[in-house]
Structures are given as structure tokens and as C-alpha cells.
């Protein structure tokens, strides 16, 4: 029997699941200054080339304003790998981000299904445009 056991990071649990369209990294619990770096390092392990990432923080019950470092590191890792990413944010995460900078725009979606649909639409659009790029003048 296969079990996706969560990785415990001092009050936060992380699970990762590779789906056909994206890798989903789910964090539940408390994100505070004590565990934020460890959560960030562990979550970045799942950023792979050619596979978008969904960072699901919908189960985070409390978040420090320093959570912006996690989001910035995920953005940098995904940019370096050349992949898109989406964020699902709980109310505490949204409040913490707004406390840091209320003008900050992040690639947020409401659910994992919404993120996967968004990635599927982007993939279909690239496939539709590919023949146009291969035609010579």
C-alpha cells in the first residue's frame, strides 16, 4: 500500500503529489519564523523542469509576514526551472502577505482544480501555436 506521509517541519506538515499537469505541494499547519526556512527548502525540492507547481497553502492556520521569503524563493526556483506556478492561499496567508505589501501580486487561484485547469489551458494554447512557429516564410 502506498502512503504519502507528510514531512513534519516544526508545526507545519508538507506533502507533495506529482500529477499529470503539475506537482502539488501542500502545506498545512503553522508557518512561523522558526520553520519557514525549512519549509521553503523542502518545498523547493519539488520544483522540476517542465512541470508547473501548485503551492497549496490553503491549510495554513497561521502565517508570519516573513512568508514572503517562501513565496519569493518559490518564484525564483520556478523561474530558474522555466515553469509556471500557482498559489492557493488561506486567509492567514493572505493577511500576512498584505501586511508585508498590499500591492504585491501573486499567481493565486482558489483551488488545486483551478490551477490544474489553468495549466491545461496554457498547454493547449502552446500546442495550438507550435505549428505556427515551425512554418518557414
Does residue 55 fall inside a structural domain?
A: yes
Residues 52/62, Cβ–Cβ less than 8 Å: no
Q: What is the DSSP string of 104-137?
A: ----B-SSHHHHHHHHHHHHHHHHHHHHHHH---
**Taking the chain (137 residues) in consecutive chunks of 10 residues, what is each chunk's mean pLDDT?**
76 93 96 95 94 97 94 96 96 92 88 94 74 61
Q: What is the pTM of this model?
A: 0.87
CATH, residue 26: 3.30.750.24
Q: Is residue 105 part of a domain?
A: yes
| Parent domain of 87 | 7-134
Instruction: Count CB neighbours of 60 within 10 A.
Output: 24
Amino acid at each position: 500500500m502506498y502512503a504519502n506521509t507528510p514531512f513534519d517541519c516544526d508545526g507545519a506538515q508538507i506533502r507533495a503529489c506529482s500529477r499529470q499537469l503539475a506537482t502539488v505541494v501542500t502545506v498545512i499547519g503553522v508557518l512561523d519564523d522558526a520553520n519557514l526556512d525549512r519549509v521553503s527548502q523542502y518545498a523547493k525540492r519539488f520544483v522540476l523542469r517542465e512541470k508547473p507547481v501548485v503551492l497549496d497553502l490553503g491549510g495554513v492556520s497561521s502565517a508570519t509576514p516573513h512568508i514572503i521569503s517562501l513565496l519569493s524563493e518559490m518564484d525564483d526556483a520556478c523561474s530558474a526551472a522555466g515553469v509556471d506556478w500557482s498559489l492557493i492561499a488561506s486567509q492567514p496567508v493572505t493577511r500576512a502577505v498584505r501586511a508585508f505589501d498590499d500591492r504585491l501580486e501573486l499567481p493565486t487561484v482558489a483551488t488545486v482544480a483551478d490551477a490544474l485547469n489553468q495549466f491545461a489551458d496554457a498547454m493547449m494554447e502552446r500546442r495550438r501555436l507550435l505549428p505556427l512557429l515551425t512554418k518557414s516564410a
